[in-house]
Amino acid sequence: MKGQVREMKRILTIFTTIDLSNNLFEGKISQILGELNFLRGLNLSHNKISGNIPQTLGNLTSLEWLDLSCNQLKGEIPMSLTNLNFLSVLNLSENQLEGMIPTGKQFNTFQNDSYRGNPMLCGFPLSKSCGNHEEQPPSVVFAEAKESLFGWKQVVVGYGCGVVFGMFLGRLFIKTAKPLWLARLICGYT
């Protein structure tokens, strides 16, 4: 670092993004990446990384984007990655992954492009079925979303109650001739 060799005694857990793309790195993805709790983005694309995708990446519950494309990754996509509730961008294309693509939660939102160039992958959203593996059709997969605690009906009821309560409080403050008290409370005037 800056012309000096430094040894890191431990890895900081406050990193929010790591982009090590286009470096021709070789070897396997370290299990310790799963301990970076605050990680929001991870890009290891366009390297020569081999081996399996570690199960520990499923511990990165704040992860919003993951790009492992254009490597030499093998094996199945870990089911633990379905725990990544904030994952909005996934790119596992151009690897040697195989088996059934996990379904559920955020994995139901990714398109074919996320898996392009992995001829041994099968299952939703790809048109290639997995043979004797049971594959959930999209109708069953999207039914899981309906079981959520906060559907559109609950949101509308909550919004409606909030509007009515807000109007009631506003009318009460105006009717009791205390709008200056409200202004002081909101603006912090003394």
Is the pLDDT at 129 greater than 90? The verdict is no
pLDDT of residue 78: 93
At a CB cut-off of 8 Å and minimum separation 6, what does 8 contact? Answer: none
Residue 59 within any structural domain of the chain: yes
pLDDT of residue 181: 65
Q: How many domains does the chain have?
A: 2
pLDDT of residue 131: 74
CATH code of the domain in which 46 resides: 3.80.10.10
Q: Write down the residue that tokens 């109650």 correspond to.
A: 161
pTM, two decimals, is 0.62
Strands 48-51 and 120-122: unpaired
**Are 56 and 30 within one domain?**
yes
Nearest-angstrom CA–CA distance, 139 and 157 = 27
Domain containing 58 equals: 17-144
Local structure of 24: helix, strand or coil: coil
Closest C-alpha among 65, 70, 95, 93 to residue 81: 65
Residue 2 within any structural domain of the chain: no
* Angle at 72 (CA atoms; ends 18, 79), nearest 5 degrees: 70
